[in-house]
Structure formats: C-alpha cells, structure tokens
Amino acid sequence: MSALLEARILFTLWVGRLIVRASEVHGFQLIQGECLRGKQQVEWNASHCAAIVGGKRCEGVKSTHAAGGAHRFVPIGSGNSLHPDGLAVDLLIIKDGKILNDEASYRLLGEWWEKQFPGAAWGGHFRDPGHFSHGFGGRK
C-alpha cells in the first residue's frame, strides 16, 4: 500500500472520531465543508484574492494588485493544499442555525485533534480554524 493511501485511511478514521467527539463531548453540530478538492480549484484559490472590500470578497487575480494599492493580495487558499490529496477537511460548527465563527470553539477540537496521531495538524495556526489535516510531505 502506498504511504499516501495509508495516510488517507488513517486521516478518514480520525475525522470520524473528531466528528463524534465534537457532538458527544462538546454538543456541537457540524457540517462538512470542502474535503477533496480538484487541482484546478487549488490553483484558482491560490491566484484569487480573499480580501473583503466593501463587504464583498475581492476575487481579483494577483496581477491586478499593484504594490501600495488599496489592499494587499490575500490568496483564498494555499497552492500547497492537502485537500487535493484527500488529507484535509473543512468542518463548520453550526449554532442557532448559523455557521459559528468563534475560534475558541474550533480550538477545542483543534487542540484535541493534534494530539491524536503524528502529523495531525489544525488550521487555527494559519487563520483557518475549521481546517483539519494530516500533514504529508512537509505540507499541512
């Protein structure tokens, strides 16, 4: 079996345990955001801007952001993502019928997650608190 397949099997098992724990220990309701992501989507995310301008996502491409312009280019997602490898999942906590953006709640899950197996990584370290991954090949 390839190392990637072994990692994906381990990752999937622990995602299941994470979801059960979130419900049983913390009473959180979760929905799954992105898991497997195509390479084209990864490239698009890395080249389009996530900055919020006038209440909306900019979504302009990197080349349209001049140095010293109105805002700095912030990619929507990393070009180095583990999502296309099936080693990352984005989970969203639902509270009172809405997506919860409170980082402290995600931290309860992230700190537990990182103790469960070697390579387990939580996106709260890079401002993506709903992101849980299995580090692989030096990526998180």
Residues within the interface to Zn ion (CB under 5 A): 49, 51, 58, 60, 88, 90, 131
Which CB sits closer to Zn ion, 131 or 140? 131
Q: What are the φ and ψ backbone dihedral angles of 11, each rounded to 5 degrees?
A: -60, -45
What does the alpha-carbon distance between residue 130 and residue 78 come to, in Å, rounded to a whole number?
15
Query: Nearer to Zn ion by C-beta: 51 or 92?
Result: 51
Residue 94 phi, psi (nearest 5): -105, 125
Q: Which distant-in-sequence residues (6+ apart) come within 8 Å of 100 by Cβ?
A: 92, 93, 94
Shortest separation between residue 53's beta carbon and Zn ion, angstroms: 7
- Residue 109 CB-half CA count within 13 A: 33
* Shortest reach from residue 70's CB to Zn ion, in Å: 8
Q: How far is the CB of 104 from Zn ion (least distance, A)?
A: 19
Rank residues 97 and 138 by Cβ distance to Zn ion and give the closer one. Answer: 138
Least distance to Zn ion from the beta carbon of 33, Å?
Answer: 7
Residue number with CB closer to Zn ion (26 or 139): 139
